[in-house]
Amino acid sequence: MSKQNQWIAGINAVAAAVEHDADNVREVLVEAGGRNSRLTEIEENARRKGIDVRRVAQQALDGVTGGLRHQGVVARYAAARTWSEDELPALVEAAQGKALILVLDGVQDPHNLGACLRSAAAAGATAVVIPKDKAVQVNATVRKTSAGAADSVLVIRATNLARCLRDLQQLGVWIYGLAGEATASLYSIDLRGNVALVLGGEADGLRRLTREHCDQLVTIPMPGADGGQGVESLNVSVATGVTLFEAVRQRTS
């Protein structure tokens, strides 16, 4: 596991960090004169947990966040927490044949990554795998967009995504990649066992090497596209939610 110092901003992100990971919150800065009742709640909760809290001017918060919308509160955080590929065997084993892993191949937009992490947390995903390079990392914007999910879902940064997929296969995990041109429907696939669901980035989708390491490519049926409605593909965060919760549906039906 590795950590990086960073500032996180926004009511949901700071509240979640204080509530779920107080040991890694170094200090909280609250806007002096801020009238949102949730700011008071965050301040009181932080003080109860022994976190330093300072009231500062709005300009100080603007300077810390570099213009990022902060809603009157920021926190200096000794994270994001990320995990290495070495953790995967233990995670898969602990899942007892029900591992559900989300793999994101080159997502660039922090808002999309945050939304994907939120869906992964809600679906009870075992882990989310992202590449170390050529993809957005878990930064302050991601943490805010995830509404606290970045604190509760394990994020693994893979040095080599193709090798990581191969290692997952050797652990008995079936790899399904989402691709618009695939002929097999997502809804025809058995997603009840050890499964990794792989989705590509916003612009180019799955990279060639990633595709080659999937056991099968599947697609989300879109009647609107077939009907000439101009819909060619779903946003990656929407597709992630659809895909993860199809697995959840199968596992709970």
**For the chain, which residues make up each domain, given as ranges?**
6-77, 85-252
Q: Among 47-51, 80-84, 89-93, 164-168, which is the least confidently predicted range?
A: 80-84
Confirm or deny that 51 is annotated as ligand binding: no
The answer to whether the beta carbons of residues 158 and 135 sit under 8 Å apart is: no
Report the percent of the chain where pLDDT is more than 70. 93
Per the annotation, does 191 bind a ligand? Answer: no
Q: Is 249 exposed, middle or buried (0-12, 13-18, 19+ CB in 10 A)?
A: exposed
Fold of 6-77: 60s Ribosomal Protein L30; Chain: A; (3.30.1330)
pLDDT for residue 1 is more than 80: no
pLDDT, tens digit, 9 for 90 and up, residues 189-214 = 999 999 999 999 987 889 999 999 99
Q: What is the pLDDT of residue 5?
A: 62
Topology at the third CATH level for domain 85-252 = Alpha/beta knot (3.40.1280)
pLDDT in tens, 20-32: 778 778 899 999 9
Cβ(200)–Cβ(206) under 8 Å?
yes
217 marked as binding residue: no
Report the helix count and the strand count for the chain, using DSSP H and E. 10, 11
Q: Give me the residue label for tokens 């060639």.
A: 208
C-alpha dihedral over 166, 168, 174, 178, to 10 degrees?
A: -70
Strand partners, 129: 103, 156
pLDDT digits (tens, 9 = 90+) for 124-137: 999 999 999 989 88
